[in-house]
Amino acid sequence: NAGVTQTPKFRILKIGQSMTLQCAQDMNHNYMYWYRQDPGMGLKLIYYSVGAGITDKGEVPNGYNVSRSTTEDFPLRLELAAPSQTSVYFCASSSGTANTEAFFGQGTRLTVV
Amino acid sequence: GESVGLHLPTLSVQEGDNSIINCAYSNSASDYFIWYKQESGKGPQFIIDIRSNMDKRQGQRVTVLLNKTVKHLSLQIAATQPGDSAVYFCAENDRAGTALIFGKGTTLSVSS
């Protein structure tokens, strides 16, 4: 049971570099989410998608972009990495709205130096 | 605005004790609440959920209580074990019902 798979697990970026965090789920879930978790803090919603071709901003979208061309994949793009984006990023998916359990990936630990 | 908070950032208990982790939420329109457990270096894992038409729900060794009058949520863990050591988050659905809003978390430490 793969569930939600995130790659890479770790990455170090230099300021100004770009990268894409990959997220894939094999549960045929319509809803997918990207959260970031800063040390000692809860998870903050970056972007979410309610289905292929539909994305929307969460609480902290600045500096990020997403796309959802398929049900399975929901990549998160950082165009110009900044130290403030140093965080752990979690992708999640759920079968319905936020009134159902969300399944999380193992996270991507990103450091921007 | 919407926010979900926890009363205590840390909780230390002895193995075998019962643990109670509390959470206050601010959105009176929220109708779904969930508790997650996050172990070090891992993603959050579902523990138990509850809908607003209930005030109590039990799982295996865990119970969630919902008091809508004071907008309070709690997680009770019976006979706490060292493997229960983790950070516990409560979450509620947002106003649009499209995403979960998380609190800051309570770190539970269980000593033998």
Confidence tier at B29 by pLDDT (50, 70, 90)? confident
pLDDT value for B39? 95
- pLDDT higher than 50, residue B1: no
Mean pLDDT confidence for B46-55: 94
Alpha helix positions (H), A39-97:
none
CA atoms within 13 A on the CB side of B73: 32
Residues A58 and A26: their CA atoms lie apart, in Å, by: 23
Chain B residues with CB-CB distance to A45 below 8 A: 94, 99-101
Closest CA to A24 of A83, A60, A99, A74: A74
- pLDDT higher than 80, residue B4: no
Question: Among B51, B89, B98, whose Cβ lies nearest the Cβ of A42?
Answer: B89
Mean pLDDT confidence for B37-45: 94
**Are B98 and A103 within 8 A, CB to CB?**
no
- pLDDT higher than 60, residue B2: no
Q: pLDDT, tens digit, for every residue of A39-61?
A: 888 899 999 999 999 999 999 99
Residues B90 and B112: their CA atoms lie apart, in Å, by: 26
Q: Is the peptide bond before A61 cis (omega within 30 degrees of 0)?
A: no
* CA B2-B41-A64 angle, 5° bins: 50
pLDDT value for B90? 94
For the residues of A33-53, what is the DSSP string, one character each? EEEEE-TT--EEEEEEEEETT
Mean pLDDT confidence for A75-79: 96
Chain B residues with CB-CB distance to A99 below 8 A: 31-32, 51, 93, 97
Residues B50 and A100: their CA atoms lie apart, in Å, by: 10
| Strand-strand pairing, B106-111 and B10-14 | parallel
Q: Please tell me which residue of chain A has the smallest CA distance to B99.
A: A98
Confidence tier at B3 by pLDDT (50, 70, 90)? very low
Confidence tier at B93 by pLDDT (50, 70, 90)? confident
Confidence tier at B97 by pLDDT (50, 70, 90)? confident
Confidence tier at A100 by pLDDT (50, 70, 90)? confident
